[in-house]
Amino acid sequence: MWQAEHVAGLLKSAGLSVDILPVETSGDKKLEVSLAKIGEKGLFTKELETLLQEGKAHLAVHSAKDMPSRLPEGLEIIAFTRRENPADVLVSFRSGAKITDAGIRIGTSSTRRVAMLRRYAPSADSVPVRGNLQTRFRKMQEGACDAMLLARAGVVRMGFDSFITEELPSVSFTPAAGQASLAVEVSQNLPEEIRKAIRDAVNHFPTENAVCAERSFLHRMEGGCSIPVFALCESDPKGNYLLNAGIISPEGDEEIRFQVEIPSADSKNPEAFVLAGQKLAAEVLGDGGASVLQKIKLHFD
């Protein structure tokens, strides 16, 4: 709801009239089963997309990181909100808690985060914890875990940032593609004037380019919630962009990552970002990533 209200605020500021239609998705309901076992295709988007396809809503708002790499036919993403800090953070009621604390039990529903914990913090124990932020904090308070690994953006949005005990470096704990941005999805049948008004009010062009590079990588890697792939495209002070992306095995014992630079001269060329993601995915797959991907699919079958 925070996400929907945030985008509604941007639309209203542009002079548009907005009604919010609350929808509970499958991902919101099936909290006792891991994402990998459910199968992530459309888990957090299907019900919203049905409203778009039936013409009952003009747009749907999603966490960009929850969007499958392939969208249903007839739907498209037309805008990304300005990206917030994309880092993963550790939150805990224990002051000063760190992922390297011996025996610490860390709650997460992400296969990527579990794999990275096994690689970079092998002394930690991962505990499956799902639900919205309020539900997860309640589970932690009840003793399900000592700490949780979450996206900083969501923690800050909900006002829980006082419980952040550690911000993890993106060079190792590289986030999921699209993390910390919101995606606006519409039907391709949406009238052009409405489409343009939404895009003009919501879209942040630099974020769009960066996330499109990440999603281009994700698409080539056939990634989703159950595949531990990661991608982050960020700009430097000179206006160049660096895409850091790769794949990690569920046990954390294999990690293949590459980086590619998008020069400042191409920073206003969307196609350059898409090509960078495709190029990086080809490098990862060709350097052993295809084998890791096959093992991952067998692991979750």
Which residues are tagged catalytic?
65-66, 112-113, 130, 136, 225
Query: In one letter, which amino acid is 270?
Result: P
Q: Residue 244 forms beta bridges with which residues?
A: 232, 259
What is residue 287's three-state secondary structure? helix
Calpha distance 206→197 (Å, rounded): 19
For the chain, helix (H) and strand (E) counts, in that order, are 11, 11
Tell me the two tokens of residue 50. Answer: 């049905």
Closest by Cα among 295, 300, 213, 220 to 260: 213
d(CA 200, CA 202): 6
Residue 63 three-state SS: strand
Identify whether the C-beta of residue 164 lies closer than 8 Å to the C-beta of residue 98: no
Question: Which of 15, 157, 175, 160 has the alpha carbon at shortest distance from 81?
Answer: 157
227 vs 301: CA distance, rounded Å: 12
- Name the nearest CA neighbour of 179 among 198, 141, 160, 207: 207
User: Tokens 């913090």 label which residue?
Assistant: 121
In this structure, are residues 114 and 146 in contact, taking their beta carbons and an 8 Å threshold?
Answer: no
3-state secondary structure of 258: strand
- Write b or e for each residue in 129-145: b if 16 or more Cβ atoms lie within 10 A of its Cβ, otherwise e: bbeebeebbebbeeeeb
- Type of residue found at 232: L
